[in-house]
Structure 1
Amino acid sequence: MDELDCDLAIIGGGLSGGLIALAFAALRPEVRLLLVEQGERPGGNHVWSFFDGDVAPADRWLIDPLVAHRWPQGHHVDFPGYSRDLATPYNSVNTVQLAVALERALGERLLTHATVTAVAPDHVELADGRKIRTQAVIDARGAGDLSTLRCGWQKFVGHALRLDAPHGIDRPVIMDATVDQHDGYRFVYLLPWDDRTIFIEDTYYSDAPQLDTATIDARIAAYAQAKGWQGEVIHREQGVLPVVHGGDFDRYWPKDDPVARAGVRAGLFQPMTGYSLPDAVRFARWLADQPLDGLPAATRAYARAHWRRGGYYRLLGKMLFGAARPDQRWRIFARFYRLRPALIQRFYAGRSTIADRIRILCGRPPVPIRDAMRTLWNPPA
């Protein structure tokens, strides 16, 4: 594209930026939109999954066309001495579906191989010297300055295997915590894409963000071998998600920052899990109804309200990382998964009721009382 003037420039073609672009393309086609992505295609290299209850029925039109796999029969969890099937359907989106949808919807309004060097409320500068002049900018380039927050980390490495024989798994396994515990709370996550293709993700709730990829690769291979699965690795991915248990929102997103934000850069994710898809859908739908004038103040107010609502989840994160011994953290999740399915569903969607919050914290604690009280004495920021 030689003509780079637009009404709205979205910087970052990941999940949040992509959903905003799709929402505007569908609901406000009169807005001259430009989605700026530094990679060859938008979306990166990710699998995003969600439970049916994570997204409001009125908003499913935005995410459903991107779903690559759906399991209407529900999902499963495994802990030492305890297993459970839950009936809530599960869905997965991958980058191929997101990229295809954006390419079809945007055409020349999708600008790839574009590295951004400067962002201002009314323009964006690119590394090749071009300048985008725009009425409004949304910065959706992943996380902001996480040093302003107190975080644990959910980190993972995933392999998709094409097997020589059927794997025998009929539904997602959200947590297999029967594996040896390393580096915090460890579990394996399984997605059966078809009868011979399975995605195996080795995940850790860890105190540090560093990924020893070679070691985790070997653990995934050992897990597959123990299951009797042999085949070829056809896809790999890895990531580190913040599990926020405190910090200062006004430092993370300073009041004098003149650029609107979206996604993880705006702090729009579930603090206890790090998952951002439900919030990305809600935010994209909300943003499509907003006037382009005043987006920096409006998006910051939206994100500030989300931060306030997340206080309870930050408290849980503080207990997880501050009160539970790393090799015993699995007990917190094992206890949680004995609760009512509707409560579990609302938790993942970030919509826990007052009764839910009381129920999660009451009863026999899965962490030492003294450590829990010491952690709770100082509430999270």
Structure 2
Amino acid sequence: MDLECDLAIIGGGLSGGLIALAFAALRPEVRLLLIEQGEEPGGNHIWSFFDGDVAEAHRWLVDPLVAHRWPQGHAVHFPGHSRRLGTPYNSVTAVHFAVSLRCKLGERLLTNARVTDMSSSHVQLADGRHIAAAAVIDARGAGDLGALRCGWQKFVGHSVRCAEPHGMDRPVIMDATVDQIDGYRFVYLLPWDDRTIFIEDTYYSDSPDLDVAAIGRRIAAYAEERGWRGSVVHREQGVLPVVHGGDFDRYWPEHDSVARAGVKAGLFQPMTGYSLPDAARFALWLADQPLDGLASATRAYAKAQWRKGGYYRMLGRMLFGAAVPDQRWRIFERFYRLDPFLIQRFYAGRSTAADRLRILCGKPPVPIRSAMRTLWNPPA
């Protein structure tokens, strides 16, 4: 059976899903299809954001997806510094995301639908179905990362159902008091309820290699040290690029006739790998665009964002090129001594000129000679 639509969105992850929700709310006349190769959209992920990451005018799009919210703020821990910050924190789980998409989209969501071919006007599925579309947008994760210079943020996460209350009342964004292994290591904690806690062991590493079994043992040891005895009820893992250089025109060639979204378009905070704020902004921008010429419009948008991200890529070069791997935590400890509003703007990708100077001024927590060599010899 062949299908026809105005907009075919390939990939039911965060970016593709938010685009579908934005169009469903703002342009219900547009016949759209969200095409996901898995059984459910969203995969196996948790996306989190600070209140300051998403503009108030855009919160209507993401707030219904939030499964957990901590209005009391969050904390960080380093060997020489601990701090509580008041900015509320939110998490979107894949299950909550999938339920929301199914409720809002109904038959406009196609799952178990693997794409074998596509162009700017058609999509071919592995089961033989052909979709004719006025516009197609590719939101299927990363493109050619060989065109970019990357470090890696990689993680394994376990949700543990504890036999007794765990005693955590707020997220811990970074606990860097743990042994430093494979670059900058920290543990990320999300208390789902009084007995269930998500424990993620995270690394800013030079390599994307992920030893899931070894990291799983470290998570178990971390929980044991804190008296959190129980069973693992959920597992996830991932590897995100921390982009500190590269060639945008190679990553997204100008002759590519298919529009892109999300990581495929390079739309994420280069230093942190955060994608939700960019995905929300992009979805609402896209819903205001004509479907004609979508490839050139989305590429121009993404290239402008790439230019704006130059400062964060420079910080990434400092982190991966100048800091001794097991001393990288010092950069983040110093950062978390700064003004909380500066920190909030940083994560949102909206650092002011004064913020940028403040982050760099003073004695750097990296060797001066290495820092200068890194800045004098930047990658493409």
**TM-score using structure 1 length:** 0.99
State the 1:4 CA deviation: 1.3
State the 1:30 CA deviation: 0.3
3-state SS of the aligned residue for 2:192?
strand
- Aligned pairs for 1:330-369 (under 5 A) are 330-369=329-368
Please list the CA deviations of residues 110-158 of structure 1 after superposition, one character each: whole Å capped at 9, or x if unmatched: 1110000111000011111211100000100000010100000000000
Residue 228 of structure 2: aligned partner? 229
Residue 308 of structure 2: aligned partner? 309
Q: Is the 8 Å Cα contact of residues 311 and 380 (structure 1) preserved in structure 2?
A: no
Equivalent position amino acid for 1:22 in 2? L
Residue 187 of structure 1: aligned partner? 186
The CA distance in 1 between the partners of 2:137 and 2:103, in whole Å, is 21
The CA distance in 2 between the partners of 1:174 and 1:344, in whole Å, is 12
**Number of positions where the alignment pairs a residue of Structure 1 with one of Structure 2:** 380
Q: Is the 8 Å Cα contact of residues 156 and 201 (structure 1) preserved in structure 2?
A: yes
Q: Is the 8 Å Cα contact of residues 189 and 202 (structure 1) preserved in structure 2?
A: yes
3-state SS of the aligned residue for 2:67?
strand
Equivalent position amino acid for 1:286 in 2? W
Is 1:12 aligned to residue 7 of structure 2? no
- Aligned pairs for 1:55-74 (under 5 A) are 55-74=54-73
State the 1:287 CA deviation: 0.3
Q: Is the 8 Å Cα contact of residues 2 and 129 (structure 2) preserved in structure 1?
A: no
Please list the CA deviations of residues 341-368 of structure 1 after superposition, one character each: whole Å capped at 9, or x if unmatched: 0000000000001100000001011000
Please list the CA deviations of residues 267-314 of structure 1 after superposition, one character each: whole Å capped at 9, or x if unmatched: 000000011000000000000000000100000000000000000000
The CA distance in 2 between the partners of 1:237 and 1:119, in whole Å, is 30
**TM-score using structure 2 length:** 0.99
The CA distance in 2 between the partners of 1:202 and 1:16, in whole Å, is 25
- Aligned pairs for 1:131-142 (under 5 A) are 131-142=130-141
Residue 53 of structure 1: aligned partner? 52
Gaps of 5+ in 2: none
Equivalent position amino acid for 1:181 in 2? Q
Residue 369 of structure 2: aligned partner? 370
Equivalent position amino acid for 1:280 in 2? A
Q: Is the 8 Å Cα contact of residues 76 and 83 (structure 1) preserved in structure 2?
A: yes
The CA distance in 1 between the partners of 2:333 and 2:264, in whole Å, is 31
Q: Is the 8 Å Cα contact of residues 315 and 380 (structure 1) preserved in structure 2?
A: no
Runs of 4+ off more than 2 Å: 378-381
Residue 219 of structure 1: aligned partner? 218
The CA distance in 2 between the partners of 1:335 and 1:26, in whole Å, is 43
- Aligned pairs for 1:92-171 (under 5 A) are 92-171=91-170
The CA distance in 2 between the partners of 1:80 and 1:269, in whole Å, is 29
Q: Is the 8 Å Cα contact of residues 116 and 127 (structure 1) preserved in structure 2?
A: yes
Equivalent position amino acid for 1:164 in 2? A
3-state SS of the aligned residue for 1:147?
helix
The CA distance in 2 between the partners of 1:288 and 1:268, in whole Å, is 16
**Aligned alpha-carbon RMSD (Å):** 0.6
Residue 176 of structure 1: aligned partner? 175
Is 1:274 aligned to residue 273 of structure 2? yes
Q: Is the 8 Å Cα contact of residues 149 and 379 (structure 2) preserved in structure 1?
A: no
Gaps of 5+ in 1: none
Equivalent position amino acid for 1:216 in 2? I
Equivalent position amino acid for 1:122 in 2? S
The CA distance in 2 between the partners of 1:378 and 1:70, in whole Å, is 43
Equivalent position amino acid for 2:179 in 1? D
Is 1:36 aligned to residue 44 of structure 2? no
